[in-house]
Structures are given as C-alpha cells and as structure tokens.
Amino acid sequence: MGDSQGDPDWWRGCAIYQVYPRSFQDTTGDGSGDLKGVTQRMGHIASLGVDAIWLSPFFKSPMADMGYDVSDYTAVDPMFGSMEDFDALVEEAHRRGLKVIIDQVLSHTSDRHAWFAESRADRINPKADWYVWADARPDGGAPNNWLSVFGGSAWEWDSVRRQYYMHNFLAAQPDLNFHNPEVQDALLDAVRFWLERGVDGFRLDTVNYYFQDRWLRSNPPVAEAAAGTIGETNPYLYQLHLFDKSQTENLDFLKRFRSLLDEYEGRASVGEVGDETRSLQTVAEYTSGGQRLNMCYTFDMLGQEFSAAYVRDRVEAYERKVADGWVCWAFSNHDVVRHVSRWVRLGEDFDAVAKFAITVLGCMRGSICLYQGEELGLTEAEIAFEDLRDPYGIRFWPGFKGRDGCRTPMVWEVEADNAGFSTGKPWLPISREHLGRSADVQSGSPASVLSHYRAVLALRKSRPALVKGSIKFIDGDDEVLAFFREAKAEKLVCVFNFSSEEKRWTLPGGTLVFEEFDLGERHARLEGMQITLPPRGCFLGRVL
C-alpha cells in the first residue's frame, strides 16, 4: 500500500475515534465484534467528522487481557477476521478520508508468544535475555517489592528456568527486556510490517513502561502510605514508581521508533503515559523536539475531577511544561468509567453532561480522542459479577468493578435483536439503559447527543484557531472556564459554566464579539459585554 496522503501534520489538532473492535459490530453471530463490523459501520464514524480511527488490539492473542496480551504481532486473531479484512478496513477508511491508528502493545507479550516459550526454556538460548528475568532472593522471595497494576507482586516464579520473570500486569503478560537491542529490533520490525500495510499511525500502550531499572531497585512508598493515611483500593498506588517505569533509557528507543515512522510520509504516534507523579515531565520528554512521539495522553482528564479550576490547572501546566510538544486530550476510553457517569451531579441530566463535555473537549488546545459510544451519551453499564470478563475487575471486586462497564457493545438499532450489534449472545450483556440511546434513535433528532457531537466536531474542523491555535485563559469566576483561541487572523472566545447555577460573566475590556456560534439549547446569551450562562452552558464567539 502507498504512503499516507495529505497534510503530514494531520495529527496536530485532529479528532480521533477509538474503536474497541470486540464491542463495535459483530458480523458472524459469535457475539464478538470483528474487523468486518468496523468496516460495515465506517459510515457512522465518518459522519461524526473525526479525522482518524484508533483500533484497540486485534492481533493474535489468548485474550487473557482482551487482546492486550499479544502472541503474534503480525497476525490478525481469527476472532476478528483475517488480514484481508484488515486491508479492506484500511481501504474503506482511506476512501472516506479517515486515517487508521492501531494499538501497539510493546512493553509485554503474551506468555504464549513464541519468544517467551523460547526464553523460558533455559538460561542459554538465543532469547534467554529477551524478557526481564531475575534470581530469587536467598529466602526464595521475589527480587524486589515491585507490584503489578492488576494486583500482587510484579514477579512470577517460573519452574523451568527457576527464576522470576517480571509482569507489570497479568502473570500471562511477561515484560520484554528493552535493554536488549535485539528486542527493540524485533519490535520495530513488527511496526514496519504494519506501516507497509498502510496504517497511518500508532497508539503506544503503556509507553513509559518499556524499561525498568537495570539494578532492580525497590520502589519507596508514597508519603500517604508511609504515614498510614492512604485509602486506595489497589496497593499499586502505595508505591512511588521510581524504578519500574519512566526510565530515561526509553528516550533513545523512542528516537529509534520516530526514525522508523519518518521513513514513511505522514505517519504519527500517540503514547499512553501512565505515571501518577511525573506525567507532565514524561510527556514533555516524549514529545518535545520533534525526535520522539508526536503526542501523548495521560489520565489527567480520565478521573473524577471535572471543574473549571481543574481543567485550567491541567491545561496551563501542560502549556508551561510541554512547550513545543503536543498533547492529546480524552475524557473516556476503554480503561475508565464513562465520563458522563463520572461527572453527572445528583439529579442532573446525562445528556446535558455529554453535550457540555464534548463542547469543552472540542475547544481545547491539542488533539482530542473520543471513545466509541460517548457520542450516544452512553453511561457506565452495571455488570453482575458472574458476567465479568475483565481480570482486573474480577481480582479487585467489589471494591473495584473493573473495566467491563465501559466496554459493553454499541447500540445501533433500538428494535433489533441485541440492538443490532450481533445475532448471537453478546460477549458482554447490553445495558437496557442504553437501548433508548441507540444510534438510529438519535440520528433523526437535532436535539440528540449524537447531533451535538457532529455539530461540535464540524465547528472545530472549520476553525483554524480550534485546530492548531494558541490558548490563553481569562480570569474571572472560579466556576467559569474562559479562554481565547487564536490562529493567524482568527480569534475566538470560549466560555463554559461548570456550576449548577446560572452565571453572568463579563467579557474582558476591548473584546467585541461579532459572530456567535449556536451550540444548542444551553447556549449562552450575550447582551453588550455580559454573557448569561445557564448551568452547563457555553458561549463561543468570534472576536474582532
């Protein structure tokens, strides 16, 4: 396939739509979505006005962690279809003007990967050093105190090698040893395979987990844990992760990765940075200078906090620290509770939260990423314990219910069996509360969440100031977020009322709005220099 066409800088300010293939559209009746299903529903994605789709893993896998445990980096798992299905998906996306970004899970493989089978066979084989192996302590204990994100020690004893291997996640996901150049070479060869098939970019899963400390030093506790005041469900958060991730050696590997991408015109990368204390520093290091990643996203906007003060604090912090780098903002993804459920207030309308949130996101400086179903205003689904498929949720139930609640199948047609997702029993149950939000119901309603998403994304795409312009915040009410976006001859003012009460907000002196953008029933009123904002209301205007 040929090189990616068009603007090589397309990723800067783009809107990405994340597809979780297993829950998008099933075409075989086995209850799990597939690549043909994504192709079949490509019209829906294109109708939103996004620039690219991001496909969560579809590679060959035992599915211990729903495809994030890869057993073959260059093969499509049969549950998702064939390589021909993937090629057809890329062709259809490109025909509709959409870029295709695929997940790359490089930090670890499945324990069923051929590399690991060879590595664990003995200590002298050619791949003996391809994973993070370590001897037991004299008492038989693990080499250090590192913990798995999914619970328990990050070390698993292997009875064949009589050593421990490291796993940041499941024991079935052994970590690769990036200190070995051969490992890096093999992974970059896999990346090149997909570049040759025409993909436009890569989302790098857990991009700051690639390297670990060479000396395997133990992590210290966080201050709250040391003081006995921490209240986290997951003990992973009790540690300050100084040595098991975010190591400086990663910078050189990311240079190698970028050099490979730069051999192909118009390709881009976005890294997922999971770092509780150093996310700003890590994003700055990974994206500045044009030598490593194009952009990164963190979990700053994927938590409970959603206020004018918090959003301003996070954005301004990135603007100061990241400098010439680039950020990708997201409010939801496949790992967190859907944002309308996180941010709705008691008695508040879910649709109002959904519309408000996409308007804020659509006006932020950076690229933006949407997660399938949020354009329908889908809430977090309640999943019974016996229906859980997520090992993370099963491990920490009931203190933490896992990620299945945001991974339930898409609802396409309100009257169809299984909402049009599958003719068979879906792999996760479809929430009855989602049925009334089906795509076919919302498509014909100008007041729907889906219509609002399309309107906001169309406005964003049509305004250079929103795509690549600068951002400057305006002081005022603590519950009102206000800023200018400016690019060349265009200057916009964006104002958002995060409170549950009506607010009056005055434009800065000398600001004259000569064009207002209508964004629905909660759009604010401008009278002279004063804007009246309803609860969860917003105002967007073009300034002289």
Residue-by-residue pLDDT tens, the chain, 544 positions: 334 457 899 999 999 999 999 999 999 999 999 999 999 999 999 999 999 999 999 999 999 999 999 999 999 999 999 999 999 999 999 999 999 999 999 999 999 999 999 999 999 999 999 999 999 999 999 999 999 999 999 999 999 999 999 999 999 999 999 999 999 999 999 999 999 999 999 999 999 999 999 999 999 999 999 999 999 999 999 999 999 999 999 999 999 999 999 999 999 999 999 988 889 899 999 999 999 999 999 999 999 999 999 999 999 999 999 888 999 999 999 999 999 999 999 999 999 999 999 999 999 999 999 999 999 999 999 999 999 999 999 999 999 999 999 999 999 999 999 999 999 999 999 999 999 999 999 998 999 999 999 999 999 999 999 999 999 999 988 999 999 999 989 999 999 999 999 999 999 988 899 899 988 777 788 998 999 999 999 999 999 8
The values of phi and psi at residue 518, to 5°, are -80, 120
The CATH homologous superfamily of the domain defined by 15-106+182-213+248-388+432-460: Glycosidases (3.20.20.80)
Residue 398 preceded by cis peptide, ω within 30: yes
Distance CA 536, CA 330 (A): 19
Please, are residues 491 and 497 in contact by the beta-carbon 8 Å criterion?
no
Per-residue pLDDT, 5: 58
The values of phi and psi at residue 493, to 5°, are -115, 135
For residue 18, the surrounding DSSP H or E stretch is strand 15-19
Task: Give the list of residues 6+ apart from residue 119 with CB closer than 8 angstroms, or none.
Answer: 125, 127, 128, 129, 130, 131, 133
Per-residue pLDDT, 510: 85
Residues with a known catalytic role? 205, 263
Distance CA 129, CA 125 (A): 8
Bridge-based pairing of strands 490-497 and 480-487 is: antiparallel
Per-residue pLDDT, 521: 73
Please, are residues 462 and 485 in contact by the beta-carbon 8 Å criterion?
no
**What residues does each domain of the chain span?**
15-106+182-213+248-388+432-460, 468-543
Scan for tokens 């240079």, then name that residue: 255
468-543: CATH, from 2.60.40.1180, 2.90.10.10, 3.40.190.10, 3.50.50.60: 2.60.40.1180
Per-residue pLDDT, 1: 35
Per-residue pLDDT, 519: 81
Scan for tokens 């025909």, then name that residue: 95
Please, are residues 165 and 155 in contact by the beta-carbon 8 Å criterion?
yes
Distance CA 23, CA 404 (A): 11
Per-residue pLDDT, 248: 97
Bridge-based pairing of strands 163-166 and 133-134 is: antiparallel
Scan for tokens 């207030």, then name that residue: 345
Count of residues making up the chain? 544
The values of phi and psi at residue 482, to 5°, are -140, 140
Q: Is the pTM of this model over 0.95?
A: yes
Bridge-based pairing of strands 15-19 and 52-55 is: parallel
Please, are residues 183 and 177 in contact by the beta-carbon 8 Å criterion?
yes
427-445 burial, b for 16+ CB within 10 Å, e for fewer? Answer: bbbbbeebeebbbebbeee
Distance CA 462, CA 485 (A): 14
